[in-house]
């Protein structure tokens, strides 16, 4: 079945463009097959057990605010773990010599996205859309411990910065969890087709690029919250 999720399709656009523009290079240094396989298992187990665990907590007469806190922290960690995997995946496939300043173990997801978008000469709106899709601000906030979890179930990133402060509800966090899963699925599918003939991949790029404007538009509501 064809995946029609806009985040999945937009991710394929970016990855295909990386390859088309000569930025792809397999970096064995960052590749860890056991890590990725373990993460896939973690993702599967979490996705299948999360709702069951929440219901069990209700059965134990756990305080509602405690259940909310547990759910928010679990979803937040689930999303953030994907963002760390995205960072690792991009370091596996990108040629550091083609990006200004290259990258190393300490280069963050937002930094490597910025370098890649600049190299591919994307316009400002598309750069912003990609940052939003990959939840760059969320990733940076958690990395630098700039977040709070409120009693009503909101994650507040950059709580002390009036310009960057954002509130993320548990429903929005759940949407983000679906978003990162779609992106990761696209990464896996793209990696499975890296040996296909170039013309096949070019045809795929052409088909997807035709719908890129619509895909980016569907992400705009996310950008109002995290961009």
Residue 52 pLDDT exceeds 50: yes
Which strands sit side by side in the sheet containing 155-157, from one edge to the other? Answer: 147-149, 155-157, 166-168
If you search the block for the tokens 């909101």, which residue do you land on? 154
Three state DSSP letters for 103-152 = CCCCCCHHHHHHHHHHHCCCCHHHHHHHHHHCCHHHHHHHHCCCEEECCC
Q: How far apart are CA 172 and CA 11, in angstroms?
A: 20
Q: Would the pLDDT of 33 be above 70?
A: yes
**What's the average model confidence in pLDDT over 78-103?**
96
Average pLDDT, the chain: 84
Give the tens place of pLDDT for each residue, 129-169.
999 999 999 999 999 999 999 988 899 999 999 999 999 99
Query: Is pLDDT of 202 > 90?
Result: no
Of the pLDDT bands very low, low, confident and very high (cuts 50, 70, 90), residue 2 is: low
Pairwise pLDDT comparison (54 vs 6), residue with the higher score: 6
**Spatial contact of 142 and 136, defined as CB atoms under 8 Å apart:** no
pLDDT of residue 61 exceeding 80, the answer is: no
pTM comes to: 0.81
pLDDT value of position 153: 87
Secondary structure (3-state) at 182: helix
* Band of residue 175 on the pLDDT scale cut at 50, 70, 90: very high
pLDDT for residue 195 is more than 90: no
Neighbours of 78 (CB within 10 A): 20
Query: DSSP assignment, residue 24?
Result: B
DSSP letter at 62 equals -
Rounded to whole angstroms, the Cα distance separating 61 from 128 reads: 44
pLDDT for 47 equals: 81
Tell me the percentage of the chain whose pLDDT exceeds 90. 62
Q: Check pLDDT > 70 for residue 19.
A: yes
Is 191's pLDDT higher than 80? yes
């Amino acid at each position: 079945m064809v995946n029609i999720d806009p985040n999945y399709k937009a991710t394929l656009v970016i990855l295909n463009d990386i390859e088309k523009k000569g930025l792809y290079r397999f970096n064995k240094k960052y590749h860890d097959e056991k890590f990725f396989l373990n993460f896939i298992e973690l993702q599967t187990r979490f996705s299948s057990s999360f709702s069951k665990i929440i219901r069990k907590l209700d059965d134990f007469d756990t305080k509602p605010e405690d259940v909310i806190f547990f759910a928010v922290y679990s979803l937040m960690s689930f999303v953030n773990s994907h963002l760390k995997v995205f960072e690792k995946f991009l370091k596996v496939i990108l040629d550091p010599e083609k990006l200004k300043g290259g990258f190393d173990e300490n280069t963050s997801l937002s930094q490597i996205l910025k370098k890649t978008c600049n190299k591919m000469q994307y316009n400002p709106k598309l750069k912003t859309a990609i940052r939003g899709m990959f939840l760059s601000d969320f990733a940076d906030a958690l990395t630098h411990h700039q977040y709070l979890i409120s009693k009503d179930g909101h994650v507040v990133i950059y709580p002390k910065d009036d310009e960057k402060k954002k509130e993320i509800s548990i429903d929005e966090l759940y949407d983000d969890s679906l978003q990162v899963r779609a992106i990761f699925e696209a990464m896996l599918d793209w990696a499975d087709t890296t040996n296909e003939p170039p013309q096949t991949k070019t045809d795929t790029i052409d088909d997807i690029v035709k719908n890129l404007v619509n895909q980016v538009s569907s992400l705009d509501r996310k950008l109002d919250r995290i961009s």
